[in-house]
């Protein structure tokens, strides 16, 4: 996400900024005291067993599910007020998290079960080992505004399935959704398990500076991700950073051109381009550039009509400030032959027309900054090798897309580049798959979530080994007999492992104790 994705992201050098959307009602000292007490209470409840056993976790997940089902219409109304999100997004924002919760409910108890891990070393015989996922503890979830329901609920559901307790900090930019979620979470979930903190820069910065968490889950920009890591590093707190960057899309000469144009228009302009895994720019094979661009332009009109501004399917930018930021990306190309479609902006309506810029200056802001809006730079390339070289010049993206009927091309991009995900012949959809981890690499993020990957993100995989005391082989003690020394040497050389009958027998006896 861009630097202004979350109001938290107006922080400079760790938080020296004033929010222009909200005036804080308390000073830093008062907030610090409140937040420390809140974390203290949550840590106490976690240590006393809150949300630790399977039945409590299931109850809290079901309450989260109930909250979404019973309040879906109110949540949809709030989405429209904040972003004018269309009907598809409104439904996805409810049903995507519901599907994730259902998946967690079906599976989390099996993930809680100990995993047998039989020790192999002769010196450890007889013994038994197992691995268990233990909840990390008190988790801070900082969510953005672009998908203000799912990007709160999905990580929260994962944390609850893992047995954690949470503080949720939604974005104040999506004010209507955040206010409603705060009220609903307080109503449906035990405050000893989940709390919500509302506010802007001051509140978020105070949380990070004054409180120690067991995990921080953040969705937002790379720049603020670095600030989060600085705060986390003081206590060696693990983080999951769901960031963004410039996700490229290569359009090959061999492709179903109509399907590619239709899917790319949908994914690029979904939510007015305010999607972290939207294709940021196209690398378009010159051989199909003219027919593809003509189809792409006509597809924009098909999906949004001749009067795009009046389309109920075309969302709005989150704020006037963001609208001005996107307009500034377009500005250098106004009145040039590189601006081949769109370019209109109405700041007061927070409207930016779908815009295509052909072969922009690679050093201009539209090619160096994450766009996070309905502006599509198109760079013409000779072939996939030139596209790969172009991608390698930038940071590792959150996603990389390839449109081609050549089934081997996706594998080639996957092998020769690094990204959070590689998707062929589609965009965005991998985010909603509970069986696929979602996350970035390098500048696009750290860690991942979805389904079991969320459970693991909010858990510590603990080793447990229990060695028998009813026998105590003298191999590791001095003085050693010649026979014991030879047995130990043979063990170090790998002549004894768990296929050895002696070890099998010893450990079998241990398991039967």
Structure confidence by residue, pLDDT tens digits, 467-503 = 999 888 787 889 988 888 888 788 778 776 544 555 5
The token duo for 140 is 């801070």
What does the pLDDT read at residue 484?
Answer: 83
Q: Please tell me the least confidently modeled range out of 12-21, 163-172, 236-245, 390-399.
A: 12-21
The band of 506, judged by pLDDT with boundaries at 50, 70 and 90, is low
What pLDDT shows up at residue 169?
Answer: 98
Q: Is the pLDDT of residue 25 over 60?
A: no
pLDDT higher for 407 or 488? 407
Cβ proximity of 438 and 260 under 8 Å: no
Q: How confident is the model at residue 10 (pLDDT cuts 50, 70, 90)?
A: very low
Interval 317-359: pLDDT, tens: 999 999 999 999 999 999 999 999 999 999 999 999 999 999 9
Name the DSSP class of 438. Answer: B
Q: What is the pLDDT of residue 11?
A: 39
3-state helix, strand and coil shares in percent for the chain, rounded to the nearest 5:
50, 15, 35
Per-residue model confidence (pLDDT) at position 2? 63
Q: Please give the structure tokens belonging to residue 133.
A: 């996922």
The distance of Cα 457 from the centroid of its chain, to the nearest Å, equals 11
How many other β-carbons are positioned within 10 Å of the β-carbon of residue 236? 6
Helix residue ranges, H only, 48-86: 54-70, 72-83
pLDDT tens by residue, 252-264: 999 999 999 999 9
Write out the catalytic residue numbers: 242, 276
Residue 511's pLDDT is what? Answer: 57
Q: Give the global pTM.
A: 0.92
pLDDT at position 13: 30
- DSSP letters, 154-186, are HHHHHHHHTT-EEEEE--SSSHHHHHHHHHHHH
């Amino acid at each position: 996400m861009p630097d202004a994705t979350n109001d938290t992201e107006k922080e400079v050098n760790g938080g020296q900024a004033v929010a222009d959307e909200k005036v804080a009602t308390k000073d830093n000292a008062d907030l610090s005291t409140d937040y420390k007490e809140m974390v203290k209470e949550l840590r106490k409840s976690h240590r006393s067993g809150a949300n630790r056993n399977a039945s409590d976790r299931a109850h809290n997940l079901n309450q989260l599910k109930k909250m979404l089902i019973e309040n879906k219409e109110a949540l949809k109304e709030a989405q429209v007020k904040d972003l004018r999100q269309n009907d598809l997004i409104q439904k996805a924002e409810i049903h995507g998290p519901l599907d994730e919760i259902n998946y967690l409910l079906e599976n989390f108890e099996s993930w809680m079960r100990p995993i047998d891990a039989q020790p192999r070393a002769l010196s450890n015989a007889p013994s038994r080992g197992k691995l268990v996922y233990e909840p990390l503890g008190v988790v801070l979830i900082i969510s953005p505004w672009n998908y203000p329901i799912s990007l709160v609920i999905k990580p929260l559901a994962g944390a609850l399935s893992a047995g954690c307790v949470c503080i949720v900090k939604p974005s104040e930019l999506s004010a209507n959704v955040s206010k409603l979620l705060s009220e609903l979470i307080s109503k449906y979930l035990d405050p000893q398990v989940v709390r919500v903190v509302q506010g802007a820069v001051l509140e978020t910065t105070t949380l990070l500076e004054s409180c120690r968490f067991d995990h921080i889950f953040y969705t937002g920009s790379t720049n603020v991700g670095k600030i989060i890591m600085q705060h986390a590093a003081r206590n060696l707190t693990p983080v999951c950073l769901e960031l963004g960057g410039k996700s490229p899309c290569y359009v090959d000469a061999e492709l179903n051109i109509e399907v590619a144009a239709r899917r790319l228009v949908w994914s690029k302009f979904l939510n007015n381009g305010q999607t972290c895994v939207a294709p940021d720019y196209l690398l378009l094979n010159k051989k199909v550039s003219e027919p593809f661009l003509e189809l792409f332009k006509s597809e924009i009109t098909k999906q949004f009509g001749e009067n795009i501004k009046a389309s109920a399917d075309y969302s709005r930018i989150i704020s006037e400030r963001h609208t001005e930021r996107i307009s500034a990306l377009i500005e250098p190309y106004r009145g040039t032959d590189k601006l081949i479609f769109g370019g209109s902006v109405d700041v007061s309506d927070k409207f930016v027309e779908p815009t295509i810029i052909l072969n922009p200056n690679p050093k201009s802001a539209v090619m160096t900054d994450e766009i996070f809006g309905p502006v599509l730079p198109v760079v013409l390339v000779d072939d996939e090798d030139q596209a790969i070289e172009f991608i390698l010049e930038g940071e590792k993206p959150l996603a990389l897309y390839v449109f081609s009927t050549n089934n081997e091309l996706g594998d080639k991009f996957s092998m020769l580049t690094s990204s959070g995900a590689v998707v062929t012949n589609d965009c965005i959809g991998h985010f909603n798959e509970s069986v696929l981890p979602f996350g970035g690499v390098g500048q696009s993020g750290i860690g991942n979530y979805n389904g079991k990957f969320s459970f693991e993100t909010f858990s510590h995989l603990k080793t447990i080994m229990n060695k028998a005391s009813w026998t105590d082989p003298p191999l590791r003690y001095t003085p050693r007999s010649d026979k014991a020394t030879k047995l130990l040497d043979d063990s170090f050389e790998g002549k004894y492992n768990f296929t050895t009958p002696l070890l099998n027998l010893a450990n079998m006896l241990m398991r039967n104790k």
